[in-house]
Amino acid sequence: QALRKGGDTISYFDIDVGQAHARRADLALKLEQAIDKQQLSLYMQPQMAISDGSLKGAEALLRWQCDGEFISPAEFIPVAEQTGLILAIGDWVLEQACMMTAEYRRLGLVDLVVAINISPRQFLQSDFSARVEQLLNQYQIPASAIELEITESTIMDNEHAGILVLNQLKELGVSLAIDDFGTGYSSLAYLKQFPVNKLKIDRSFIRNIEHNLDDQAIVLSLCQMARNLKLSVLAEGIETQAQLDMLAQFDCDAIQGFWYSRPLAHPDFIRFTEPSRIAEPLHD
| Binding residues vs ligand C2E (CB under 6 A) | 45, 61-62, 72-74, 77, 90, 93, 117, 119, 179-180, 236-239, 256-258, 263
Task: Tell which positions 232-261 bind Mg ion, by CB under 5 A.
Answer: 236
- Residue 72 binds: one of Mg ion, ligand C2E, none (C-beta under 5 to 8 A by kind): ligand C2E
Do residues 98 and 105 lie in contact, with contact meaning Cβ atoms separated by under 8 Å? no
Considering only residues 117, 119, 122, 273, which one is a binding residue for Mg ion as defined by CB under 5 A?
A: 117
Task: Tell me which of Mg ion, ligand C2E, none is bound by residue 73, counting a contact when its beta carbon lies within the kind-specific cut-off of 5 to 8 angstroms.
Answer: ligand C2E
Main-chain dihedrals φ then ψ at residue 278, nearest 5 degrees: -65, 125
Please, what is the minimum distance in Å from the beta carbon of residue 93 to ligand C2E? 4
Residue nearer to ligand C2E on the CB measure, 45 or 129: 45
Pair 154, 191: CB distance under 8 Å: no
Residue whose CB is less far from Mg ion, 133 or 180: 180
- Strands 254-256 and 40-49 turn out to be antiparallel
User: Minimum distance from CB of 165 to Mg ion (Å)?
Assistant: 18
CB of 243 to ligand C2E, least distance (A): 9
Residues facing 69 on adjacent strands: 66
C-beta of residue 11 within 8 angstroms of C-beta of residue 3? yes
CB of 112 to ligand C2E, least distance (A): 18
147 binds Mg ion (CB under 5 A): no
- In angstroms, rounded to a whole number, what is the distance separating the alpha carbons of residues 209 and 185? 21
Residue 212 gets the label, from left (phi > 0), alpha (psi -120 to 50) or beta, of beta
Q: Are 256 and 232 in contact (CB under 8 A)?
A: no
Residues that bind Mg ion (CB under 5 A): 117, 149, 179-180, 236
